[in-house]
Amino acid sequence: MRQKSSSTGGAAGSADGVARRSAIAEEQAFLDLATARRDTLADHLRTELSSDPSDAVERARQRMLRRQHEELRRAREGLVFGRLDARDGTVRHVGRVGLRDDGEGGEPLLLDWRAPAARPFYTATAVDPQGQTRRRHIRTTESTVVGVDDEPLDGTTTAELVGEGALLAALDERRTGRMSTAVSTLQREQDDIIRAEATGPLIVQGGPGTGKTVVALHRVAYLLFAHPTMAEQAVLVLGPSPRFLRYIAQVLPALGETAVVSATCDTLLPGIRVQRDESRLLAEIKGRVLWQTALETYVTSLLPPPRDLKLRWEGEFYLIPAATVAQTLASAVQGRPYHRARAAFAEQLHHILADAVVEQREALMNEMEEGFEDILARVDRSMRYDPVGRRPAGSDVDGLLSEEEVESLPGRIAANAAIARFVEAWWPSLDAETLLRDLLADRTLLARFAPRLTTEEIIAVSTEPAPWASSDVPLLDALADLLGEVEAPRPQGEFVADQARRRRDWVYGHVVVDEAQELSEMQWQMVLRRCPGRSITAVGDIDQAEAAHRHTSWAQAVRAAFRDRWTAAELTICYRTPREVMSLTEPVLREAGSRNAPPRAVRSSGIDPWVRTVTPTELAGVATEAVRELRQRWRGGTVGVIAPAARVAELLAALSGVPVLTATQSKGLEWDATLLIDPRGIAAEPRGWNGLYVALTRCTQELGQVVLA
């Protein structure tokens, strides 16, 4: 029998109260059962992990068991959050992990939210119930059920939102400064993207508050579940800033996913630190894809030219003709990075030299043998032969190499320090940082290898200071890739994420890019190098782009990396920002030159945005008072301040305990209340209308603005 919809959100009559208490008790009983089963399985896995792995197969098994144990351990919070009642009477519960009961058949006790059978929990509607009669959202605190929200699916009324009660309850919760998991409130258009095939680049356009980051991270969890081999390669999550990565840091571990490396484009290259800001002009110039071709040509020019090579071995000189060197060079290069090509050339050179040594030894012995025969003929005439006509004993001479010596000769040559020094001098090891500094400082080299740059652009690039800036990292990465490792490092550490984090040349199973609209063309090349299979999910809002590049559409943004081989998806509903605030954004988008409509807000906070006008001398005092009021109103939540870059230092000095950020720094973050300082000043910055669009949409409840008179 289908239960009446119930919720903990409002005053209930006696009948509703009884139904609510009964539903909570029913789900508490199931949660207790699932928790006990989870604990039993975790204990069993812990026992299995106590054994000492003795071989590669057992070590692989131990890694799998450790992963399962960690997933169970992290699933204590929010273990069960949903239930589906089917038309045939089947009841299925949905949770953070999958559990089977301890009966003989091992029937499913709890469906993993990523499993295909759990998908109707996110996608079923009253119009398309998918065989379900009811969906129940279960809210828990630790091991206690605190509320349920029943949603009938067998009616005829079209429901625009799936599980609206549970979703809006989650949105009304106070912000804590860390992103929480949202598996219990994912909506249909979000779930469609999460479960999309990972067969190529997927570009997801979504305005503020549409859940782009939530979708991206839950897609990682889903893909690692649906494609277990992906965990062997790890998944890379690229975010816009360290602050953002700290904000999302708990989401994937909370979902049981540990085969994940998070980074920014600035931190992606091991051993390189960004130490300098630079002008938008330089950032735009160095972000262009033309540098990829320029650097490839630059490195090719550094290959040694073919010439006669004269090598010494055991006191003798051997000449390798230029024609042989040219042929060997061509064979060694064949698309290999510089240092790997050198290693291939050296290996072939060792065999060529060994052949030359053998041939020269054979020729010498032939000459000696012919001369020795002449001498013997003269001696024979003056000597008597023995009775049987034999020559005197000891006259045989054999200086040829044995088979074993011939086989070992290339190895001996390879181990010879003098030969190694010769190869190093002719084909030297190169360093990416040194090469890039040399190139960027030399206007002649820039004109030769980057002919598409104007004279003014070459001058701008060649006069920059030495410390690395953000736009240098993709150039260094490209050079490091073109050079290759002098000696490839061996993976270390037990966990795949630890290995991947240390390796520049690691190939990931999937890459997720958040705030993807900010990537330059050269940064996209960094992404492609780490995922040549192009299993990539990129989420962002092209209307929030603030970077120095010139693209204003996704087609322009990803053309250099993907051409037209990518799939577009869109998130259209704003769950975070209330209607009262979203109503301010359309004219801002028009000023930014956008052709897109802002996402449609589905909730109201009941609080109209407010404005206070002050003089510059009053700014610090008014801002301090406004922050105090907001923190009082949103006690237990968060308040953030966004200001033009020129005013951040002043406000940081006046305000304590509250983040004061530029519009760019606030990207991807959210607070219960936002205090927006000098919106006209933000709009006046480069790409300022895009920045103002970002700043307006960071709050979940209340927006205040301080305008300068």
How far, in Å, CA of 64 to CA of 520, rounded? Answer: 38
- The answer on pLDDT for 149 being more than 50 is yes
How far, in Å, CA of 328 to CA of 158, rounded? Answer: 71
Is 125 a known ligand-binding residue?
no
Interacting residues of 80 by C-beta distance below 8 A, sequence separation 6+: 27, 30, 31, 34, 93, 94, 95, 110, 138, 140
How far, in Å, CA of 80 to CA of 113, rounded? Answer: 10
Domain locations along the chain: 15-172, 215-299+471-574, 304-374+404-426, 579-708
Higher pLDDT, 375 or 468: 468
pLDDT confidence tier of residue 580, bands split at 50, 70 and 90: very high
**Confidence at residue 400, expressed as pLDDT on a 0 to 100 scale:** 67
**Confidence at residue 334, expressed as pLDDT on a 0 to 100 scale:** 92
Higher pLDDT, 256 or 434: 434
Q: For residue 485, what are the β-bridge partners?
A: none
Task: List pLDDT tens digits, range 417-427.
Answer: 999 999 999 99
Task: List pLDDT tens digits, range 273-311.
Answer: 999 989 999 999 999 999 999 999 999 999 999 999 999
Task: Classify domain 579-708 by CATH number.
Answer: 3.40.50.300
Cβ neighbours of 222 (radius 10 Å)? 23
Interacting residues of 178 by C-beta distance below 8 A, sequence separation 6+: 246, 247, 249, 250
- The answer on pLDDT for 162 being more than 80 is no
First and final CA of the chain: distance in angstroms? 64
Q: How would you classify the pairing of strands 610-614 and 536-540?
A: unpaired
**Confidence at residue 650, expressed as pLDDT on a 0 to 100 scale:** 95
Mean pLDDT value of segment 641-651? 97
- The answer on pLDDT for 388 being more than 50 is no
**Confidence at residue 551, expressed as pLDDT on a 0 to 100 scale:** 87
- The answer on pLDDT for 2 being more than 80 is no
**Confidence at residue 395, expressed as pLDDT on a 0 to 100 scale:** 36
Q: Find out whether 216 and 569 touch, Cβ atoms under 8 Å.
A: no
- The answer on pLDDT for 446 being more than 90 is yes
**Confidence at residue 230, expressed as pLDDT on a 0 to 100 scale:** 85
For helices 432-441 and 455-462, give the axis angle rounded to 10 degrees: 130
Highest mean pLDDT among 7-16, 187-196, 321-330: 321-330
| Closest CA relative to residue 320, chosen from 305, 332, 334, 306 | 306
How far, in Å, CA of 680 to CA of 706, rounded? Answer: 10
Place of tokens 């889903």: 222
Is 286 a known ligand-binding residue?
no
- The answer on pLDDT for 705 being more than 60 is yes
Mean pLDDT value of segment 239-252? 74
Q: CATH number of the domain at 215-299+471-574, out of 2.40.70, 1.10.3470, 3.40.50, 3.30.450?
A: 3.40.50
**Confidence at residue 158, expressed as pLDDT on a 0 to 100 scale:** 37
Interacting residues of 21 by C-beta distance below 8 A, sequence separation 6+: none
What string of DSSP letters covers 278-297?
--HHHHHHHTSTHHHHHHHH
Query: What are 50's two structure tokens?
Result: 């106590």
**Confidence at residue 683, expressed as pLDDT on a 0 to 100 scale:** 97
Amino acid at 417: A
**Confidence at residue 383, expressed as pLDDT on a 0 to 100 scale:** 44
Torsion of CA 422, 425, 426, 427, to 10 degrees: 110
Mean pLDDT value of segment 39-55? 78
Instruction: Choose the weakest-confidence range: 399-413, 465-479, 522-536.
Output: 399-413
Mean pLDDT value of segment 474-489? 85
The rounded mean pLDDT for the chain is: 84
Strand stretches in 624-709, DSSP E: 639-642, 660-661, 671-677, 699-708
| Closest CA relative to residue 637, chosen from 705, 702, 704, 706 | 702
Instruction: Choose the weakest-confidence range: 422-426, 473-477, 561-565, 666-670.
Output: 666-670
Percent of the chain's residues with pLDDT above 90: 53
**Confidence at residue 373, expressed as pLDDT on a 0 to 100 scale:** 57
- Phi-psi map region of 131: left, alpha, beta (phi>0 left; psi -120 to 50 alpha): left
**Confidence at residue 363, expressed as pLDDT on a 0 to 100 scale:** 76
- The answer on pLDDT for 465 being more than 60 is yes
Interacting residues of 84 by C-beta distance below 8 A, sequence separation 6+: 91, 92, 93, 94, 118, 120, 121, 124, 132, 134, 135, 136
Task: List pLDDT tens digits, range 54-79.
Answer: 677 777 777 778 777 877 887 777 88
Q: Find out whether 509 and 219 touch, Cβ atoms under 8 Å.
A: no
Higher pLDDT, 259 or 10: 259
Is 213 a known ligand-binding residue?
yes
Instruction: Choose the weakest-confidence range: 179-188, 219-228, 390-399, 405-414.
Output: 390-399
Mean pLDDT value of segment 262-276? 92
pLDDT confidence tier of residue 161, bands split at 50, 70 and 90: very low
Percent of the chain's residues with pLDDT above 70: 84
Give the three-state DSSP class for 214: helix
Mean pLDDT value of segment 31-45? 90
Mean pLDDT value of segment 95-109? 81
Query: What are 171's two structure tokens?
Result: 């949105």
pLDDT confidence tier of residue 180, bands split at 50, 70 and 90: very low
**Confidence at residue 52, expressed as pLDDT on a 0 to 100 scale:** 66
Is 212 a known ligand-binding residue?
yes
Mean pLDDT value of segment 516-535? 96
What is the reported pTM?
A: 0.74
Higher pLDDT, 481 or 388: 481
Is 572 a known ligand-binding residue?
no
Is 210 a known ligand-binding residue?
yes
Whole-Å CA distances, 299 to 330, 347, 476: 15, 21, 12
Q: Which helix (H) or strand (E) holds 543?
A: none
- The answer on pLDDT for 157 being more than 50 is no
